[in-house]
Structure 1
Amino acid sequence: MVYPKKMVPGILLLITAFALTSLFAANPEITTEKELEGKRVAFLITEGFHDAETMFPLGFLQNAGANITVIGIEPGTYTAYNSDVTAVVERSVNDVTPAEFDALVIPGGRSPANLREHPAVVDFVREFIQTNKPVASICHGPQVVIATGIVQGRTLTAVGGIQNEITEAGAVYVDKEVMIDGNLITSRTPPDIPAFSMAIKELMRN
């Protein structure tokens, strides 16, 4: 894979790393061996992704043995909205199928609002949900999930700012750090990243 590149001002990198390291340290159960060896995970992003919601679950799953592919609208280098972190999108959704992956992760930030405007992206996510393989989204990530039009009756969480979008799509909104409804995993904000990452790993193991 092409690894995401980090170009973060030193102080921001230190603050972000310290905050997330503290979160994972407070949840020692998320330390892992290579339990996902051979599993394939797609991360779906574009310009304006959230740095921590992308990089930390990606690193956690990679550390667990998963093979990561970053996919998006078009291949290229994209920048987070909240820092100078960049990530390389390796493949377009037009050139991949859900059959190639065991799980899909959709980080938040401003990226999801862009992704959901592209029919090929929405079709890919819809097909992925229909395979019953894990589809995990955090913060604004569920915007892409609800754009598929097949979440009626499902229970989701997300950043509070899109609660109305979720209920208008026919889903039930709950305010909790991680919600697992069948193959859908959702979380709210960066403090939920440890629980979010662990939920992805556990659902992939089962």
Structure 2
Amino acid sequence: MSGQRILLITGDFGEDLEVMVPFQALQAVGHRVDAVCPDKEAGETVKTAVHDFRGDQTYVEERGHDFELTATLEEVDPADYDALVLPGGRAPEYVRNYDAVIETVQHFFAEDKPVAAICHAMQILAAADVVGGRTCTAYPALEADVRGAGGEWAEGVVRDGNLVTAQAWPDHPEWIAEFLDVLGTEIQHGQPVSAD
């Protein structure tokens, strides 16, 4: 089986590691990943933010990289994609206000396609009204958001059907591995093969 087409939705000040690591890791095993942002076109960039944990009550934030988008949200058809990735950071708090983002997310849930969301991406899922009845996680400060959206809160990396959620970038190894399992990706000498 050839690699799957995966859509990644981010925006300015999405968390650097939560944007770049899944984008590159999924490509490394043969999947095609398109990164999009509302109101920006393919070839434009978003600024990322690095969130670090230094013993304070919450994370600190520093400027990250310029991340180049590979597609234009307004031109993609979610039906052409097999899965969705939603990074965290500050971007989710405003990209959730775009109808195109909400409709795209709802498509993936309506079609029962794999979705991976991490950290503050829960804000997008809650806005899309797709959390109700699901067990999931997010950045710990969003526990109230999960419960308010009708979800059941859990710690660590959580898989509920085709939805894989994680709390923050330190969860990458388990989060990405779990998402690859949902996708049916087996790694054999760097090539994806069907688990079927």
TM-score (norm 1): 0.78
Which residue number corresponds to residue 192 of structure 2?
none
**Per residue, is there more strand in 1 or in 2?**
2
* Distance (Å, rounded) in 1 between the aligned partners of 2:10 and 2:45: 11
Q: Secondary structure at the match of 1:137?
A: strand
Helix, strand or coil at the partner of 1:196: helix
Task: Measure how far apart 1:54 and its partner are.
Answer: 1.4
Shift of 1:100: 1.2
Cα distance, 1:56 vs structure 2: 1.3
Residue 18 (structure 2) pairs with residue 53 (structure 1): yes
* Pairwise CA distance, 1:113: 0.6
Report sequence identity in percent: 31
Give the counterpart of 2:88 among 105, 108, 129. Answer: 108
2:29 to 47, 64, 70: 64
Q: Is contact 1:98-1:128 (8 Å) kept?
A: yes
Counterpart residue type for residue 25 of structure 2 = F
CA shift digits 1:91-126 (9 cap, x unpaired): 333221221111110111001111101111111111
Instruction: Give yes or no for contact 1:112–1:140 (8 Å, CA) kept in 2.
Output: yes
Residues in 2 aligned to 1:96 and 1:133: alpha-carbon distance in whole angstroms: 16
Distance 2:172 2:3 in 1: 23
Distance in structure 2 (CA, Å) of the matches to 1:93 and 1:154: 27
Letter paired with 2:27: Q
Distance in structure 2 (CA, Å) of the matches to 1:202 and 1:84: 29
* In structure 2, C-alpha distance between the alignment counterparts of 1:150 and 1:109, rounded to whole Å: 20
Alpha-carbon separation, structure 1, partners of 2:165 and 2:136:
6
* 1:32-51 equivalent positions in 2, closer than 5 A: 37-51=2-16
Map 1:76-91 to 2 at 5 A: 76-82=44-50, 83-91=63-71
Distance 2:2 2:176 in 1: 16
Residues in 1 aligned to 2:33 and 2:159: alpha-carbon distance in whole angstroms: 22
Partner of residue 159, structure 2: 180
The alpha-carbon deviation at position 148 of structure 1 amounts to: 0.9
Unmatched segments (≥5 aa) in structure 2 = 51-62, 185-194
Task: Report the TM-score, using the length of structure 2 for normalisation.
Answer: 0.82
- Contact 1:159/1:189 (8 A) holds in 2: yes
Query: Aligned equivalents of 2:131 and 2:64: distance in 1?
Result: 34
**Does the CA contact (< 8 Å) of 1:37 and 1:64 recur in 2?**
no
Once residues 179 and 127 of structure 2 are traced to their aligned partners in structure 1, the CA distance between those partners, rounded to angstroms, is: 21
- C-alpha separation in 1, matches of 2:135 and 2:120: 15
Bigger proportion of residues as helix: 1
Residue 84 of structure 1 aligns to a residue in which SS? strand
Separation in 2 of the partners of 1:95 and 1:57?
A: 22
State the SS of the aligned residue for 1:136. strand
Deviations 1:120-168 (A, max 9, x none): 1111111111111111110101111111113211111011111101100
> Hey, what's the Cα distance between the residues in 2 that align with 1:163 and 1:145?
13
